[in-house]
Amino acid sequence: MAKALSKELKQPDEFVSFWTHFGAQLTAHRRKVTVTLVVVAVGIAFGWGFSAYRTSKATKATAAFARIERVAGAELLPEKDTDKADKKEVAKPEEDGVPRFKTEKERLEAANKEADAFVAQFGAGGLGRKALLGKASRLLALGAAAEAATSFESLVAGETDASLKVMEMEGAAAANEAAGKLDDALRGYTTLADESQRGGMFYLDRALFAKARILEKQGKEKDAEKVLREILDKMPKTSLRSQIDDRLAVLTEK
């Protein structure tokens, strides 16, 4: 028993041996180990900092986007106060920090300035695309049809969200129609109809109804009638049924 114990004590314990060896390595390479620990600590701190920055930026972006919507929906000054209010009074913020405007034109232009500022600060991705979509719609309302068409078409070219894409396509076609570019509008509504058939037919009746409207403007009544009947064949329960019936009644009398 004594000999066995003596032999066991002469063999170093594996656990103790490992940590003794590890400690010696730390001592021998103290500088490298210290640098490594510092790099790891900095990396962790940067990761937390970047995450916090992204969260903060996302919060700010959401608030800035909400401001665009508030400006676009701001109340107009009562007509009785319009003549009395000077520019300083019009621009004076209300309790929610949103100014009031004398006219719809001023309100639309102010909302577009907010959209430009948003994109300049947060970029054209994510909420930035929705800000640009809203701006394009307001440009159309302001009568800047050609500029609106260009904006919509630019959005369509880079859109990956199917639901936003059809909205942008409809906006581009409507803007070209408003600009008097009927051939471009017709192509736009035709493409939108094709896209809708591939994506669940949600916009199909609207796209074809608009296409028929363009054909009628171009003096192609028979083609317009054919497109309207196509809607009834493909979507007999369309919400546009009464409008289609009215147009068909007019076209068949010609």
CA 62/CA 57 separation, integer angstroms: 9
Rounded to the nearest 5 percent, the helix, strand and coil shares of the chain are 80, 0, 20
Residue 73 falls inside a structural domain: yes
Closest by alpha carbon to 65, among 138, 107, 142, 119? Answer: 119
* End residue of a domain, out of 82, 111, 142: 142
Residues 178 and 241 in one domain: yes
**What is the rounded average pLDDT of the residues 18-31?**
54
Q: Is the pTM of this model over 0.75?
A: no
Q: Look at 91-95, 124-128, 129-133, 203-207 and tell me which has the smallest mean pLDDT.
A: 91-95
Single residue among 142, 170, 194 that ends a domain in this structure? 142
CATH of the domain at 174: 1.25.40.10
Give the HSE-up count for residue 148: Cα atoms under 13 Å, Cβ half-sphere. Answer: 27
Domain membership flag for residue 132: yes
- Kindly state whether residues 84 and 157 are assigned to the same domain: no
Number of domains comprising the chain: 2
Q: What residues make up the domain containing 241?
A: 143-254
152 within 8 A of 172, measured Cβ to Cβ: yes
Query: pLDDT of 44-76, one tens digit each?
Result: 444 444 344 455 668 899 999 999 999 999 989
Asked whether residue 254 falls in the same domain as residue 149, the answer is yes
Predicted confidence band of residue 30 (pLDDT cuts 50, 70, 90): low
Q: Residue 198: what pLDDT?
A: 84
Q: Is residue 133 part of a domain?
A: yes
Phi, psi angles (nearest 5°) of residue 31: -65, -45
> Is residue 195 located within the same domain as residue 181?
yes
Identity of the residue numbered 151: S
Q: What is the pLDDT of residues 213-241, one digit of tens each?
A: 999 999 999 999 999 999 999 999 999 99
- Partners of 99 in beta bridges: 93
Other C-beta atoms closer than 10 Å to the C-beta of 19 total: 10
Q: Give yes or no for a contact between 158 and 92, defined as CB atoms under 8 angstroms apart.
A: no
Residue at which a domain ends, from 93, 122, 142: 142
Distances (CA, A) of 175 to 23, 81, 149, 172, 208: 75, 34, 5, 5, 16
Q: Is residue 160 part of a domain?
A: yes
Same domain, 226 and 178: yes
